[in-house]
Structure formats: structure tokens, C-alpha cells
Structure 1
């Protein structure tokens, strides 16, 4: 098995304010991005069909994805190649927010007209996959799940350490670990769906794992503060970087094979884990150092 050598960071060169400044600045930018998206579009992150409702067409054509993209008056929210044995040249085209039967029929006619240059285009299946009312209920359920997971994580942090600053450090890091990937999704146009919500739930777990590891080494194990920090980093950074590489490989592979959801999950987890490295070993650590040297007996 390979060994990942984690260099020892000279934290004494930086004040607590300097350490916390970078992650807090990134968090502030992420919040500004989400706020701007909310003001312009009505939602912090673009909603997928799971949460907005809409129509879905399955198209049989030898046209390219770019040609399919340009075949409709309404820009598709997603175009995915159908991956199934014996199925070739089929694409699933999704239009979020469209449920009217006349609008769906118009999209069907556009597909058959604009993609029939070689006489090969046909709509294999058309359907309205989710009504806005059902999608809104699904959205509320997913957001409730995220809120319950975050609240549960916060309770566990306070139960484990039973002190304010270390527990708040874990909660603050986890909050930033969620907000930064959400802002990234808003910038690059990754939609919020049941699949991407699952990725965000996984990030809560990753965040708690790395933060509790750091807190436990510093507060409950013997040794100097910086020695304990380095021991925690050897384990925590190795785990996180390994997971990042796995998610990056999954995302790139899924993208090459046209599996859009897996590609989105992979890149969200990669960005979230990178944010977790920053928040754990800069924001969380700065709060722990203040608590250890200034807050415990003051």
C-alpha cells in the first residue's frame, strides 16, 4: 500500500486571524453568489426536474448532442445518452418546469422536424415526469432531510465535546463545506436534484469525520498542540485526498461515458472535499488554537 507523506505545516508563522481569513473570505464569496442567484432566478441553485417538474423526451437520432441542443425553441436542461444493452443513438432530453400537454407536443414536433435531416429522428417516448406540485413536495422533503442531517451533526458535536468553541468550530466548518459546493453548482450550472442532494448529505458526513478527528487529537490525546495537529493531519489529509482522487476519477469517467448525474456527484464531492481541507485545517484549527491557549482558563 502506498504512503502519503503529509508535510508538517509551521502554524506558528500565522495568527488565528490569518488562518481564519481565507476560509471566511471564500465562504463570504459563496454566500454572495447564492444570494445573487436567488435575487436573479428566484433560487440559490438551479432546480432540476426532481424539484421543478417538467417534461422528458426520449429521442432516437444520429444527431450530435449539440444538434439536439439547438433543435428546440426551449433550451433543454439535460441531454443524456441512454446507456442500455442493445440501445444505440437514443437520448433522454429533459425540460424543467414544462408540464402543459400542448407545450410537450410542440417539443415533440420540433424534435421530429429539426432532427430529421437524415430521415432518422423519432421520439420514442414522451412524458411529463413530474408535476410542479409533486416536485415542490419532493423539494421540501429533500431540504428537510438536509436540515435534519445538519441538525443531527450539530447535536453530535455538542454531545461529544460539551464545550462551545470546539463544537461551533465543527458546525461552522460543516456549514461552509455545504455552502461552497452549492455556490460552485450555481456558477457552473449543475442542477439541484435528488442525486446532488445525496452528494451534499455525503459531504456532511465527510466534514464531521475530519473535524471530529482533528478535535479529538487536540483535545483528548496527550502531546503538544502542534504535534497533535500533525498526527491528525497525517490521517485526515490522507483520507480526504484519497477520497478526492476517487471522486475526480469517477466524475471524469462518468462524463466521458455520458452519465451526467454521476459526473455531477463526482465533481460536487471533489469541490466539497477540497473545501473541507481548507475549513478543517485553517478555520477549525484557528478556533481550536484560540480555545486551547486563550479560552480554556479564561
Structure 2
């Protein structure tokens, strides 16, 4: 791994209140964003069709994105090109489809398929040929019912909660002291909330893919915070020497991962892979927040524990 020259920060020049002011202020803004979004829409984040229910078509055509949108009576929720395949993944949220909630969902899906086939979209090389020799541009279709989507949503949220709860239990078991364990949990909580607010502000849907990104953020956060706590509590040297030792490893690791996620997001944007772009951006925001929370919020709590609290 490439080693960065991490300068020693003058922590002595700042009080603990000054150190926690910035991360707590940003956390407060993030919570406010999620709260306002919840008050306006009923959910803190926009939900993907995996959670709300809806229909999805895979269309093989040489047409551009605007022509695909205009092929349907109802505007799609999203149209994602499949790079170099001459295909589009077209999604319709169930709440925006007439007759989807109470009617025959198979009939609604068939209506969308018929609209695509009856349009003037030109088939691409990946279009399929039926048994009677006709070319069909819809090469895949699926429907998710709202009730099934709600079950998936509940399972995904339980997974996030279980991961956070398990992380907290392991942390308390590892250090067996309240303040250092609380510092890890508080940093991880902030690392999770800030990307959620970013998703809300920039219209990134909560999908199974973005849930996976949030789970990865929990793992990254615990890794860097435990590294810091282990150096300060269990290794020799002064408090500030221990913090700087952990920074040399932690910041190098986190910045390397952040750059990798930004490169992935840029490449995914170029090739039109929306889910990979979203995952890359969420992880980049979460890792950036992790640097702030680990070396401001966590350090301030550890310093209070070592010099003013029960660890003095």
C-alpha cells in the first residue's frame, strides 16, 4: 500500500468541545435533511422498485434514451443504458403505474410490453426472434408486487440494524470500557447518517445495491475506529504519539479506498452503470465522513477518557 506523509495535527491547541463541534454540526444537518424529507414525502429516502414494487423491462434497441422514454404512455421512473449491448433497462415504480396497486399486475406489465413492441423503436443486434419469425425488442420483463417489496424493505432495514447492533456488541466486548466503545459506535452512526442524507439530497434511491454500500460503510468505520482505539488504549507511547501512529495507517487506508470508489463511480457513470455509480459515491462520502469522525469526534472522546474521565 502507498504510504502518505500524514502531518502531526496540533490537537493540543483545541479543546474537546472545539474538536467535536464540526462533526456534530454536520451530523445535525444530516439528521435535519432526513427529517425534512420524511416530513415531506413520508420516507427519509426515495425507495427503489425492489422496495415499492413496480415493473422492469429490458429493451434491445438502437434508439436513444429520449426515444425509449417517449415509447410509453407513462413516463418511466428510470431508463438505464447497458453500454455496448444496444439495450436499456426501463423501470416503472408501482405507485406511478395506473391500475398497478389494485389491478392485475400481469396485465399492467403486458400493457407496457405491448407499448414497447408497438412503438417505432428500431431493434438492436441483441433483439430476439420469436418462433413465427417476428423480432421482439423486449427481451426481459419482471414485476414486483408492493407487498413483496415491503417485505424486502423490512428485511434490508433489519439487516442494517442487525449489522449495527452486532458491531456495537463486538466493540463493547473488545474494549470492555464504556467511553472508548461509545466513541466507536458514535462515529459509526455518524458515518452512516451522513451518506443517507447525501442520498436524500441527490435523489439516490435506497435499493439492495445501496443497502450493500451502507453495510460496507459500517465495516470501514469500525475498522478505522478500532485501529485508533487500539493504538491509544493498548499500545505504549503518549496519547498524541499513539493518535499519529494510527493516523499514518488509517488515513492512508481510507484515502486510498476513497479514491478507488471515486474512480469506480466515474467509470460507472461513463459506461451508464447507475447502481455502481451510486455505490461508489455513497462509499466515497461515507469514507470521507469516517476520516472526520474518527480523527475529530473519536479523538476528542478518547482524550476526555484518558485525561479527564475514568481513564485518567
TM-score by length of 1: 0.91
- Structure 1, residues 200-227: CA drift from partner, whole Å, max 9, x if none? 1111100000000001111111111111
Post-superposition shift, 1:282? 0.6
Structure 1 residues 292 and 135: CA distance shift in structure 2, 3 A? same
Q: How does 1:74-223 map to 2 (within 5 A)?
A: 74-82=74-82, 88-97=85-94, 98=97, 99=100, 100-108=105-113, 110-111=115-116, 116=120, 123-125=137-139, 127-223=141-237
In structure 1, what is the Cα distance between the partners aligned to 2:72 and 2:39?
Answer: 28
Q: Could you tell me whether the CA contact under 8 Å between 1:45 and 1:191 is conserved in 2?
A: yes
Secondary structure (helix, strand or coil) at the match of 1:129 reads strand
Bigger drift between 251-260 and 101-110 goes to: 101-110
Q: Could you tell me whether the CA contact under 8 Å between 1:54 and 1:131 is conserved in 2?
A: yes
Q: Could you tell me whether the CA contact under 8 Å between 1:108 and 1:123 is conserved in 2?
A: no
Q: 2:279 aligns with which of 243, 249, 265?
A: 265
Q: Which structure 2 segments of 5+ residues have no match? A: 125-135
2:46 is aligned with 1:32: no
Structure 1 residues 71 and 279: CA distance shift in structure 2, 3 A? farther
In structure 2, what is the Cα distance between the partners aligned to 1:225 and 1:70?
Answer: 63
Secondary structure (helix, strand or coil) at the match of 1:227 reads helix
Bigger drift between 17-26 and 121-130 goes to: 121-130
Post-superposition shift, 1:128? 3.8
Q: Could you tell me whether the CA contact under 8 Å between 1:57 and 1:123 is conserved in 2?
A: no
- Alignment: residue pair count: 293
TM-score by length of 2: 0.87
Post-superposition shift, 1:144? 0.8
**For residue 127 of structure 2, what is the aligned residue in structure 1?**
none
Measured on the aligned residues, the alpha-carbon RMSD in Å equals: 2.1
In structure 1, what is the Cα distance between the partners aligned to 2:251 and 2:238?
Answer: 19
Q: Could you tell me whether the CA contact under 8 Å between 2:225 and 2:298 is conserved in 1?
A: yes
In structure 2, what is the Cα distance between the partners aligned to 1:71 and 1:282?
Answer: 53
